[in-house]
């Protein structure tokens, strides 16, 4: 079974030897995202909610390029540098998923 490299112009371009995502069969293996705005390549650091929204928009763009949505995600990891930001991140993060449906 071959693999397909996924690349969306609506998410930050990879700057290293990796892809935004690889599709193998029906499984998508997506690389991590940070809050870079792909339109101007600027890192969003104005607020935790805005940073989180940008990350989720980047993930959404990669999913769309794979003909998938957040409903297809079965595992996701978030790394926080300050657990004091957990509630802010979790509120934005949770708004992108149709939880318990």
Domain range list for the chain: 3-94
Q: How would residue 81 be classed by pLDDT, with cut points 50, 70 and 90?
A: very high
**Residue 68 token pair:** 């998938």
Q: How would residue 100 be classed by pLDDT, with cut points 50, 70 and 90?
A: low
Please tell me whether the overall predicted TM-score, pTM, comes out greater than 0.85 for this model: yes
pLDDT for the residue numbered 98: 80
Q: Which CATH class is domain 3-94?
A: alpha beta
d(CA 49, CA 2): 38
Task: Specify the 3-state DSSP secondary structure of 27.
Answer: strand
Give the side-chain half-sphere CA count within 13 A for 41.
Answer: 4
pLDDT for the residue numbered 15: 86
């Amino acid at each position: 079974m071959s693999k397909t490299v996924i690349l969306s112009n609506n998410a930050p371009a990879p700057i290293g030897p990796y892809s935004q995502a690889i599709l193998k069969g029906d499984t998508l293996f997506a690389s991590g995202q940070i809050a870079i705005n792909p339109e101007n390549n600027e890192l969003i650091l104005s607020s935790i909610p805005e940073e989180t929204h940008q990350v989720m928009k980047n993930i959404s763009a990669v999913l769309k390029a794979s003909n998938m949505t957040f409903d297809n995600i079965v595992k996701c990891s978030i790394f926080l540098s300050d657990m004091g930001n957990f509630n802010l991140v979790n509120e934005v993060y949770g708004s992108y998923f149709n939880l318990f449906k």
